[in-house]
């Protein structure tokens, strides 16, 4: 490699590093803002004691706003859509939190689930960033996990078993953890270049992780 080629390679590497750093800043800044907004909406929902919208409205709202955000990801409307999406999830979270807080040890369960969620997210993100390991190999596991969990969730509507609910919650913890590693690695290695999509993927992973840990803690607590 001659001097000009080496200079071009180093310059290209520097541009890539700058782009990755910018993507990280944009992603985590937007993630912090959406988490704060979702928490505010959840608090409002709890304070007003709003009812849960139900399964059908939740699914339509989730996938409808997710599709809209994906469609608008390259425009300014993408930011409006992602706040609508995360705000909607915050609204659905309010009634769930009220149900847990009505339990004798509900406050400690919610606090513990929040702490564990933060610990898992920051630990996995830091590991993927510091080691710069490529976790693209998890794509197959994530796809298979999505299909299995979807089938298990559908089955849970017809089969009322505490063991099945426990397995689903544990499965979502593993699934969400894998997605966090995969998405963070994709940002590091250039597999993801849109901060809105990176943010929404991480947000949904955190949301599912928190709910799954809360449900697991609730199940174990009720068995004491």
150-179 residue pLDDT tens:
888 888 777 777 788 888 899 999 999 999
Express each pLDDT in 71-127 by its tens digit: 999 988 999 999 999 999 999 999 999 999 988 888 999 999 999 999 999 999 999
In this prediction the pTM is 0.88
Average pLDDT over the chain, rounded to an integer: 88
Domain of residue 154, residue span: 25-222
- Residue appearing with tokens 């174990």: 220
CB 182 within 8 A of CB 197: no
* CA atoms in the 13 A half-sphere facing the CB of 150: 7
> Per-residue pLDDT averaged across 30-35, rounded?
96
Which are the contacts of 153, defined by CB distance < 8 A and separation ≥ 6? 168
At 181, phi and psi to the nearest 5? -65, -45
Reported as type and span, the H/E element at residue 64 is helix 55-71
In a domain, 135, yes or no: yes
DSSP codes, 72-97: TTTSTHHHHHHHHHHHHHHHHHHHHH
Question: Cβ(81)–Cβ(69) under 8 Å?
Answer: yes
Give 11: exposed, middle or buried? Use CB within 10 Å, 0-12, 13-18, 19+.
exposed
As for how many domains the chain has, the answer is 1
Residue 8: pLDDT above 60? no
Answer for the pair 195, 23: CB distance below 8 angstroms, yes or no.
Answer: yes
Which single residue is written with the structure tokens 């704060």? 36
H/E segment holding residue 137: none
**77 located within any domain:** yes
- Does 14 have pLDDT greater than 60? no
The DSSP symbol for 103 reads: S
**205 is a domain residue:** yes
Residue 8 lies in a domain: no
What 8-state DSSP symbol labels residue 190? T
Q: Rounded mean pLDDT of 130-146? A: 90
Asked whether residue 128 is assigned to any structural domain, the reply reads yes
Note whether residue 12 is domain-resident: no
Q: Cα 134 to chain center, whole Å?
A: 19
49: helix, strand or coil: coil
In a domain? residue 18: no
DSSP helix/strand/coil, 208:
helix
In a domain, 14, yes or no: no
Residue 153: what pLDDT?
83
Residue 158 has φ and ψ, to the nearest 5°, of -110, -25
Q: Which of 2-11, 42-51, 111-120 has the lowest mean pLDDT?
A: 2-11
């Amino acid at each position: 490699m001659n001097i000009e080629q080496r200079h071009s390679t180093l310059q290209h590497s520097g541009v890539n590093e700058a782009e990755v750093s910018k993507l990280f800043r944009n992603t985590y800044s937007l993630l912090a803002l959406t988490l704060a907004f979702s928490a505010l909406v959840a608090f409002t929902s709890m304070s007003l004691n709003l009812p849960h919208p139900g399964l059908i409205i939740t699914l339509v709202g989730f996938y409808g706003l997710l599709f809209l955000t994906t469609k608008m990801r390259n425009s300014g409307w993408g930011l409006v859509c992602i706040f609508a999406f995360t705000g909607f999830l915050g609204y659905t979270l309010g009634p769930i939190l009220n149900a847990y807080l009505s339990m004798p040890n509900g406050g400690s369960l919610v606090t513990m689930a929040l702490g564990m969620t933060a610990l898992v997210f920051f630990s996995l993100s830091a590991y993927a960033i510091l080691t710069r390991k490529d976790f693209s190999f998890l794509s197959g596991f994530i796809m298979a996990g999505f299909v299995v969990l979807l089938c298990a969730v559908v089955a849970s509507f017809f089969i009322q078993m505490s063991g099945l609910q426990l397995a689903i919650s544990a499965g979502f913890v593993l699934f969400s953890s894998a997605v966090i590693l995969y998405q963070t690695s994709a940002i590091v290695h250039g597999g993801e270049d849109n901060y809105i999509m990176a943010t929404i993927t991480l947000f949904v992973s955190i949301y599912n992780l928190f709910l799954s840990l809360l449900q697991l803690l609730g199940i174990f607590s009720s068995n004491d």
